[in-house]
């Protein structure tokens, strides 16, 4: 597979509908071609050994729209489009990262994800008959959905099994507790957890490791 031929995002007619936040057809041949390429690259990545760093880096650059330096993804991974995702510097993802990036996904610098983190952007009609078919402008009856972007700031830590739902923005310097289902925005500097996820408190100097000398084991916290 020629991994150098990465398609440019947001060029097709259906992708432009995604950007506009209106119904689009996920079965469109151009969209299916993008997804097939990405799914095959996901499989290639998941077949690699952890110490095949050069091969892994090349595959990730072919999958993700933008990827900052110092990124590490334990694997296995599952990107849906890949090219709709932008990830900052020094990103770490533990096992089983899933990003269903029909809509745009952005992740800032220095973010760390625990195992089984899932980010989703598509939204399907609530009524069964509308999930099955909606009539398009040209008269076709198709299974349609729409998507909402997800934005994650810098210096965020997600515990294991976090799910981020469509349309959510998470600010800088947030901690999201394990098992959380994030359905609404989380302001910067927050510790949030639960299902549905809610803000527990604002993070402060009280949360510093300086206040846990029994955990430091001779280490020191640098001055800010």
- Mean pLDDT, range 117-134, rounded to an integer: 98
For position 72, what pLDDT does the model report? 97
Checking if the pLDDT of 44 tops 80, the result is yes
For position 1, what pLDDT does the model report? 63
Average pLDDT of the chain? 96
Q: How confident is the model at residue 34 (pLDDT cuts 50, 70, 90)?
A: very high
Rounded percentage of the chain residues whose pLDDT exceeds 70: 98
Distance of CA 79 to the CA centre of its chain: 8
For position 58, what pLDDT does the model report? 96
Reduced to 3 states, what is the DSSP secondary structure of residue 58? helix
Exposed (0-12), middle (13-18) or buried (19+): which is 143, by Cβ within 10 Å?
middle
- Characterize the bridge pairing of strands 85-87 and 105-107: parallel
Check: CB of residue 79 under 8 Å from CB of residue 125.
no
Give the strands of the sheet with 105-107, arranged side by side: 66-67, 85-87, 105-107, 150-152, 169-170
For position 224, what pLDDT does the model report? 76
For the stretch 171-219, pLDDT in tens is 999 999 999 999 999 999 999 999 999 999 999 999 999 999 999 999 9
> Which pTM was predicted?
0.95
DSSP state of 127: S
Residues serving a catalytic function are 124
For the stretch 46-83, pLDDT in tens is 999 999 999 999 999 999 999 999 999 999 999 999 99
For the stretch 152-168, pLDDT in tens is 999 999 999 999 999 99
Q: Which of 161, 153, 147 is nearest to 101 (CA)?
A: 147
Query: What is the helix (H) or strand (E) element at residue 35, kind and residue range?
Result: helix 29-46
Q: Which DSSP string do the residues of 148-163 spell out, in sequence order?
A: --EEE-SS-EE-TT-E
Checking if the pLDDT of 223 tops 90, the result is no
Structural domains of the chain in order of their starting residue, each with its CATH number:
13-216 (2.160.10.10)
Checking if the pLDDT of 104 tops 80, the result is yes
Checking if the pLDDT of 141 tops 70, the result is yes
Q: Which of 97, 106, 142 is nearest to 124 (CA)?
A: 142
């Amino acid at each position: 597979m020629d991994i150098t031929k990465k398609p440019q995002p947001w060029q097709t007619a259906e992708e432009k509908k995604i950007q506009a936040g209106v119904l689009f057809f996920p079965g469109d041949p151009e969209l299916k071609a993008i997804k097939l390429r990405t799914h095959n690259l996901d499989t290639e990545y998941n077949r690699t050994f952890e110490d095949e760093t050069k091969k892994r880096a090349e595959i990730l650059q072919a999958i993700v729209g933008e990827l900052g330096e110092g990124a590490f993804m334990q694997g296995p991974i599952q990107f849906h489009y890949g090219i709709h995702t932008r990830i900052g510097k020094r990103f770490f993802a533990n096992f089983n990262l899933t990003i269903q990036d029909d809509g745009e996904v952005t992740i800032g610098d220095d973010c760390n994800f625990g195992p089984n983190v899932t980010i989703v952007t598509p939204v399907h009609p609530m009524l069964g008959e509308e999930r099955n078919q909606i009539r398009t402008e040209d008269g076709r009856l198709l299974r349609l959905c729409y998507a909402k972007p997800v934005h994650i700031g810098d210096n965020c830590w997600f515990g294991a099994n976090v799910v981020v739902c469509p349309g959510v923005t998470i600010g800088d310097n947030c901690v999201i507790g394990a098992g959380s289902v994030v359905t609404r925005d989380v302001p910067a500097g927050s510790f949030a957890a639960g299902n549905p996820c809610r803000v527990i408190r604002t993070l402060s100097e009280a949360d510093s490791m300086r206040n846990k000398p029994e955990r430091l084991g001779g280490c020191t916290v640098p001055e800010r």
